[in-house]
Amino acid sequence: MTHTIQPNNPEITPAPDAADLPAALAPRPAAPAVPAALKRRIPKYADLAPLMQFKKPEFSKEARLKRASTIWELRDMAKRRTPQAPFDYTDGAAEEEITLRRAREAFLDIEFRPGILRNVSSIDLTTDILGKPSRLPVGIAPTGFTRMMQSEGEYAGSQAAEAAGIPYTLSTMGTASIEDVAAAAPNGRNWFQLYLWTDRDRSLELIERAAKAGNDTLMVTVDTAVAGARLRDVRNGMTIPPALTVKTVLDASYRPAWWFNFLTHEPLTFASLSRYTGTVADLINSMFDPTLTFEDLDWLRETWKGKLVVKGIQTVEDARKVVDHGADGIVLSNHGGRQLDRAPIPFHLLPEVKDALTRDNSDAAIILDTGIMSGADIVAALALGADFTLIGRAYLYGLMAGGRAGVDRALQILEKDMARTMALLGVSKISELTPDHVRLLGK
């Protein structure tokens, strides 16, 4: 028979080995002691007090906007607060809206490739675009009929851009004049977006007004030879200005603040049009010139002395050609999916255009819009070769959610997204982003 010897204590009589005893007599292993933290007890008030911190409910606009952590949450707020027709005008796209869905999916179908053990204690989001600095690599795109979305319209957008240190682009079809926007944001960087009309004298007048008001960049849009089939607008009976029908009155009962603001402010007027009543498609088809050619771009280049950007580029060939005709920059854009459905996706086109212009030794700026809904989307675009980005719907959701404060919140969300994404990628400034940081899935 063997015995277990307890080390360092020879006086203890060794217990018989359990293996030598009958099963019934073998000692049971002792139950483990219960940690003090797991023993039940009656809670003390001193323990409960720190947990019982009830916050006073906040119903202010600022508190409501602060609860939004994403652009999608601002969109939800906007939908609740805006009548269906103007909300759908912003939210919708052409025909089956395939282009818009694909544009957004393009940003989802990527894989970030982070670097580790980099010093990212300070993130610098500043960049240069078209010869001047921008505090963020994103600007506000031109959007038409903006005061229809919310009464502060272009004034909110331009002032928020001024405060954020980024460019603001006023649309030809904006609802505030070139001069009023310049006065509202006197220290901002204001750009003007131009649709060329069949009446060249009217176009020239706008160009001269933009220059006189201090706009340093002219952005000519070239993808609207005719209006796209925006079916949500057709179904909603969308007109400019919104018409008071039985349907709109019923819709207003759920959004009284929007209607109160709309009816108690100056009626909608346009930066470049006289009073107009009718559908958006009719307006585009009656005013804009379907005969535009590269010769017209040459005329613009000779006429405009500031920076010239061409918006609506959807092929590599056209990107190279407009640069050859004097463009200082291009905007890869399919008009937010609002013109030709199944159009090329700017984010997919970006690497090819970047490669082509690099091989041409061109220093033309590459700007990208369409589909951007987060700061991570912006970082991905910059990594794949964009110099700058523009947001349309993303800021309009903020505008509809809360006016100027809502636009500020949208820009804050995007800035926070960008800074976090760059830190997690292991880069501290935009110039460190490269195509190696992004992989297009399925390609």
- What is the C-alpha to C-alpha distance for residues 73 and 106, in angstroms, rounded to an integer? 20
Structure tokens at 23: 């099963």
Report the b/e string of 183-215 with b at 16+ CB within 10 A. ebbeebbbbbbbbbbeeeeebeebbebbbebeb
Sign of CA dihedral 60, 66, 68, 74: positive
Active site residue 265: no
Residue that the structure tokens 């990594």 belong to: 383
What is the distance of C-alpha 214 from the center of its chain? 26
Residue pair 175/269 in contact (Cβ under 8 Å)? The answer is yes
Strands 307-313 and 329-332: parallel
Q: Which residues pair with 3 in a beta bridge?
A: 16
Q: Which of 3, 265, 325, 335 is catalytic?
A: 335
Residue pair 365/344 in contact (Cβ under 8 Å)? The answer is no
- What is the C-alpha to C-alpha distance for residues 383 and 437, in angstroms, rounded to an integer? 7
- What is the C-alpha to C-alpha distance for residues 258 and 75, in angstroms, rounded to an integer? 15
Burial of 437 (0-12, 13-18, 19+ CB in 10 A): buried
Report the b/e string of 366-402 with b at 16+ CB within 10 A. bbbbbbbbbbbbbbbbbbbbbbbbbbbbbbbbbbbbb
- What is the C-alpha to C-alpha distance for residues 177 and 150, in angstroms, rounded to an integer? 16
State the amino acid at position 349 in one-letter form.
L
Residue 376: how many CA atoms within 13 Å on its side-chain side? Answer: 17
Residue that the structure tokens 């240190």 belong to: 165
Query: Would you please indicate which residues are annotated as catalytic (active-site) residues?
Result: 335
